[in-house]
Amino acid sequence: MFSNDDDQGLVLGVVFGVILLAIATVLGVALYKTGQRGAMPASAAAAAVVSMPGLNAAAGAPAAGEASAGTAMPDAARVVVEGGVVKFYFASGSADLAPGAAEALGDVVKGVAAGKKAVISGYHDTTGDPVKNEELSKQRAFAVRDALAALGIGEDKMELRKPADTTASGNNAEARRVEVTLE
């Protein structure tokens, strides 16, 4: 079936793959522990966020602020910047961020660099199980928090703030959102 040379080539390939994986892991841990992750330039951090799993970065996606309720599918994830507030809208049952998340958060990153704090608040619609909706709203806020952290924003510069009423008004697609403001 296979010759001895084929078996040796396969074994060498696996060994080299494991070695490369180990080196990449050690470098990643070393960079993380030395704080290089937070010192990443904004352009590199934005690229890292766009490529993070769960951000659904897609070629040809509209730029931040371009999508509106009239142009986006009603249940599609999208991000809109209105009056200095970044609004992340989520598909039903999902905590995946829309394309353009990093770009939409650019002004928030600048505001935090100028001494302000990013306030993250999550809302949900009225359909389904209220307990599950609360948890999903929290997971969505965590996704936005993680995107800000990937852009170099420290946890001390962010506040997760639960609104008095997490059930948002309006249609269900507009209600499933996380808002980021600066204070």
pLDDT band at 182 (very low <50, low <70, confident <90, very high): very high
Residue 44: enclosing H or E segment and its boundaries?
helix 42-50
Query: For 160-176, how does the pLDDT look when each residue is reduced to its tens digit (9 = 90+)?
Result: 998 877 666 678 888 89
Residue 178: enclosing H or E segment and its boundaries?
strand 177-182
Tally Cβ neighbours within 10 Å of residue 120: 24
Query: For 20-69, how does the pLDDT look when each residue is reduced to its tens digit (9 = 90+)?
Result: 566 666 655 555 555 544 444 443 343 344 334 344 333 333 333 333 33
Query: For 117-135, how does the pLDDT look when each residue is reduced to its tens digit (9 = 90+)?
Result: 999 999 888 888 989 988 9
pTM of structure = 0.60
Query: If you count DSSP H runs as helices and E runs as strands, how many of each does the chain have, helices first?
Result: 6, 5
Q: How many CA atoms lie within 13 A of 31 on its CB side?
A: 11
CB 120 within 8 A of CB 144: yes
CB 175 within 8 A of CB 87: no
**Chain centroid, CA 163 distance in Å:** 21
